[in-house]
Amino acid sequence: MRRSMGRLGLAIAAAFAFTLVPAPASAAPVEQDCVAATSVDNLHVRTGPGGSFDSLGKMQPGVDYEWNCLYIGGELYTACGVTDDIWLGIWFHDQWGFAAAACLH
């Protein structure tokens, strides 16, 4: 079941007191569906924006996952050749989770 991306994304961010980072000018507006995929094996989707949060499972490489169109500031990570603190809210196994933005396209 799909849910409203804008309100739910903001509610998630407010509940955990995350920092929302403005999307680049080329990113889709919040009103549109956004899709993210990974080509990386074993990318965890976490319950919060950081490696210290529990894992909900691992994304399958090349599979498209719905995301909430927001870039969320969280814990610093080093993955996929970069160090960053930007996470994406991913719809994963019928719930929202977070994945390292640097590993998604």
Residue 43 lies in a domain: yes
Residue 96 lies in a domain: yes
pLDDT 10s digits, 49-83: 999 999 999 999 988 999 899 999 999 999 999 99
> Phi/psi zone of residue 93: left (φ > 0), alpha (ψ -120 to 50 degrees), beta?
left
pLDDT 10s digits, 7-59: 444 444 444 555 555 555 544 444 457 898 887 888 999 999 999 999 999 99
What total number of domains does the chain contain?
1
Q: Which domain holds residue 98?
A: 5-19+33-103
Residue 64 lies in a domain: yes
Residue 97 lies in a domain: yes
Indicate if the alpha-carbon torsion angle 1, 66, 98, 25 is positive or negative. negative
CATH of the domain at 49: 2.30.30
Residue 84 lies in a domain: yes
Q: What is the pLDDT of residue 89?
A: 94
Q: What is the C-alpha end-to-end distance of the chain, expressed in Å?
A: 23
Residue 25 lies in a domain: no
